[in-house]
Amino acid sequence: MSHTAATAPAGPEPEVAVAASSLHVTRGNVSVLRGLDFSIHTGQITGLLGPSGSGKTTLMRAVMGVQLLTSGSVKVLGLPAGHPDLRHRVGYVTQSPSVYPDLTVEANVRYFGAMHRKGRAEAAEAIAAVGLDPQARQKTGDLSGGQLSRVSLACALVARPSLLVLDEPTVGLDPVLRADLWDRFRTMAESGTTLLVSSHVMEEASHCGSLLLLREGKLLAQLTPAELSQRGHSADLEKAFLHIIQDTAEGRSTEGTVRS
């Protein structure tokens, strides 16, 4: 490997892991995403924050390439989202745990691992990473809700993706476990994994290197947690977010009077 790296560098991962340009998604008659432009940096945790119904899940689906786009584009690791070559390199954990309840934890993780040529050792590692060692041989359906979502996470971790898209991964977890998971996400980011994590709990924003604030299908801002508290005039990120929403709303209403 060092040989190939010396002669022909495989090219470092592009600085930008995800790039969206004028992304529009309409589902039925509802315009869910309304012209998003943003980019996500490699090796960073990017938080996708916004109230429920703001389009977080649809945005994540667009990044995964499972969402039909109305217009615009999403590029992931230099390829169009959903490109077959990306299937080895991106991992997706949906909001409701998508695992087989009638299989053991181990069987679930091994099955999804098999799709990425990963075996027993990698499966055991992924199970340990989410703290489910003691439950490895239990039937997944018998676990608690929080444990179930960790099984779902392990099924994505086993593939060791370059980009990990997590839809509300910490919902229903106790504080200790939540802290553990954020530590793990940070370690992964430090080793070069890009993470896109959605949450509707603003306090989680402090764990992220960058934030995308989404509201009603529009991007309010892309900033760091520090910039958020500065622009929102509050150390409490929840309040800061509300301030930004109010500022934007006022800005929009003055705009509106001009237009109408």
- Which residues contact other proteins by CB under 8 A? 27, 64-68, 82, 84, 87-88, 90, 92, 94, 96, 98-103, 107, 111-112, 114-117, 139, 155, 159
Contact of 127 with 118, CB cutoff 8 Å: no
Q: Do the beta carbons of residue 22 and residue 37 sit within 8 Å?
A: yes
Q: Which is nearer to other proteins, 110 or 207 (CB)?
A: 110
Output 119 or 251, the one with its CB closest to other proteins: 119
Separation of alpha carbons 196 and 208, rounded Å: 9
Distance CA 26, CA 231 (A): 31
Residue 175, judged by CB atoms within 10 A of its CB (0-12, 13-18, 19+), counts as: exposed
Min. distance of Cβ 165 from other proteins in angstroms?
A: 9
Between 68 and 179, CB nearer to other proteins: 68
How many angstroms separate the CA atoms of 76 and 90, rounded?
A: 9
Smallest separation (angstroms) from other proteins to the CB of 111: 5
Q: How far is the CB of 107 from other proteins (least distance, A)?
A: 6
Q: Measured between alpha carbons, how far is 256 from 260 in angstroms, rounded to an integer?
A: 6
For the bound state, the minimum distance from the C-beta of residue 18 to other proteins, rounded and expressed in Å, comes to 15
DSSP-derived 3-state class of residue 72? strand
Closer to other proteins by Cβ: residue 130 or 211: 130
Tell me phi and psi for residue 244, to 5 degrees: -65, -40
Closest distance of CB 75 from other proteins, Å: 16
The residue (of 82 and 232) whose beta carbon lies closer to other proteins is: 82
Q: In this complex, which beta carbon is closest to other proteins, that of residue 140 or of residue 229?
A: 140
Kindly state the smallest distance separating residue 77's Cβ from other proteins, in Å.
Answer: 14
Distance CA 93, CA 126 (A): 14
